[in-house]
């Protein structure tokens, strides 16, 4: 499988990254291990996780995903074959995480230590901020509405704590997630002016139903070599077509967890119908077409896929071998003009 450099880090990562957020909720430990075995056999060397996983987050399951990865490392001895990424949780209703998730120095250092314990490793290749502490637009918000965030941890304090982890050898590189152009610019400014670590990646949503990354962030990714780690490339499975016309397959994520409403709207349904029809016209699996589109974008370092079955995982990984022709790409752009960003 083709590999890309992770920012300016010198690390080469597979352009398909194995996402893990279902492990511990929808997937057992044995199933998680089987997915990692299969992914590595297919040439994937990049795993992405987070301290808050699995999703949906609950006190009872928090950290279980990292623990499953740690037990796989202990069983296989393959830690040094994998570029491992994890994240510290941003602010929210997480009283079970250090009394409430923050991005201050004490929290960053403590979160990394506990992740290292669960992962059974002494270093993390890419340590990421899961989402900002300041008030800004992410998780389905396009518009920016200024609000008082005077008590939010300054980005400089967060990045200085990450610098300490790098000095200690606990984190090799740092990245951000669910960020905005201002956030990227601020992290880069602090790198230049304060000699703090340079971010190597940004993990944001990107799919046929959400191309908002192209507005403002794609140029940063290209010019500053801060590549996109694209999450939710199938819009939580919507682009596979399996939820069309109100269908809710048993055990599927949107069937089991009604809290996920980010992709549940009329425009998303209409756009998905057209993308699925386009794929079928060209003899392609709709999910593979959607994934291949994301992987092919020049600002994307890696496409983060996730699956609940080995069959689904195999199909998603096989999208790496799908090439999209010019006529199909024109069709995608025509649909995009009609349904520009139905799922921010």
Q: What is the CATH number of the domain that holds 147?
A: 3.20.20.100
226, 299 contact by CB (below 8 A): no
What one-character-per-residue DSSP string does 71-83 give? HHHHHH--GGG-E
Report how far apart, in Å, the C-alpha atoms of 199 and of each of 110, 148, 149, 227, 293 are: 20, 26, 23, 10, 25
- Would you state the pLDDT for residue 56? 94
Residue 123 forms part of a structural domain:
yes
What is the torsion angle, in degrees rounded to the nearest 10, for the CA atoms of residue 212, residue 215, residue 221 and residue 226? -50
Task: Establish whether 231 is a catalytic residue.
Answer: no
Q: Taking the mean position of all CA atoms in its chain, how far away is CA 75? A: 26
Cα separation of 108 and 97, whole Å?
Answer: 12
Residue 41 forms part of a structural domain:
yes
φ, ψ of residue 269 to 5 degrees: the values are -60, -45
Residue 15 forms part of a structural domain:
yes
Per the structure, the count of domains in the chain is 1
**pTM of the full structure:** 0.97
With a pLDDT cut of 90, the percent of the chain lying above it is 90
- Would you state the pLDDT for residue 106? 97
Residue 274 forms part of a structural domain:
no
Q: What angle do CA 304, 309, 312 make, to 5 degrees?
A: 60
Give pLDDT < 50 ranges for the chain: none
User: 225: phi > 0 → left, psi -120 to 50 → alpha, else beta; which?
Assistant: left
- Would you state the pLDDT for residue 103? 98
- Would you state the pLDDT for residue 263? 80
Question: Parallel, antiparallel, or unpaired for β 300-305 and 227-230?
Answer: parallel
Tokens of 25: 């909720």
Residue 129 forms part of a structural domain:
yes
Of the candidates 53, 68, 275, 339, the residue annotated as catalytic is 53
- Would you state the pLDDT for residue 36? 98
- Would you state the pLDDT for residue 251? 73
Residue 280 forms part of a structural domain:
no
- Would you state the pLDDT for residue 246? 83
- Would you state the pLDDT for residue 298? 97
- Would you state the pLDDT for residue 252? 76
Tokens of 197: 């670590």
Residue 299 forms part of a structural domain:
no
Residues linked to residue 86 through DSSP beta bridges, in sequence order = 127
- Would you state the pLDDT for residue 42? 98
Domain that holds residue 190: 3-203
Rg (CA), the chain: 19
Q: What is the pLDDT of residues 215-264, one digit of tens each?
A: 999 999 999 999 999 999 999 999 999 999 888 777 777 767 776 778 88
- Would you state the pLDDT for residue 250? 77
Other Cβ atoms less than 10 A from the Cβ of 39: the count is 26
Residue 328 forms part of a structural domain:
no
- Would you state the pLDDT for residue 66? 99
């Amino acid at each position: 499988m083709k590999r890309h450099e992770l920012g300016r880090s010198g690390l080469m990562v597979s352009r398909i990254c194995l996402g893990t957020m279902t492990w511990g909720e929808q997937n057992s430990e044995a199933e998680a291990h089987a997915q990692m075995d299969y992914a590595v056999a297919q040439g994937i060397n990049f795993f992405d996780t987070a301290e808050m996983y699995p999703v949906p987050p609950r006190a009872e399951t928090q950290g279980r995903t990292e623990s499953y990865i740690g037990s796989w490392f202990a069983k296989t001895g393959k830690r040094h074959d994998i570029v491992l990424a994890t994240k510290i949780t941003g602010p929210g209703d997480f009283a079970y995480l250090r009394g409430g998730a923050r991005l201050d120095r004490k929290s960053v250092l403590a979160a990394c230590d506990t992740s290292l314990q669960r992962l059974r490793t002494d270093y993390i290749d890419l340590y990421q901020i899961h989402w900002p502490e300041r008030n800004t637009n992410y998780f389905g918000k396009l518009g920016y509405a200024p609000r008082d965030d005077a008590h939010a941890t300054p980005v400089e304090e967060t990045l200085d704590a990450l610098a300490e982890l790098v000095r200690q050898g606990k984190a090799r590189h740092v990245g951000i997630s669910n960020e905005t152009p201002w956030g990227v610019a601020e992290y880069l400014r602090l790198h230049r002016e304060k000699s703090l670590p340079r971010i190597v990646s940004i993990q944001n949503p990107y799919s046929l139903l959400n191309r908002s990354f192209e507005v403002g962030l794609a140029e940063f990714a290209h010019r500053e070599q801060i590549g996109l780690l694209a999450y939710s490339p199938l819009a939580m499975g919507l682009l596979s077509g399996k939820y069309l016309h109100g269908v809710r397959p048993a055990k599927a994520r949107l069937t089991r967890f009604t809290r996920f409403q980010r992709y549940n709207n009329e425009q998303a349904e209409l756009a998905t119908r057209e993308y699925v029809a386009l794929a079928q016209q060209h003899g392609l699996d709709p999910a593979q077409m959607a994934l291949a589109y994301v992987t092919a974008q020049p600002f994307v370092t890696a496409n983060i896929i996730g699956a609940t079955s080995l069959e689904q995982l195999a199909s998603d990984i096989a999208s790496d071998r799908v090439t999209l022709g010019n006529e199909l790409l024109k069709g995608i752009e025509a649909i995009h003009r009609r349904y520009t960003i139905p799922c921010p």
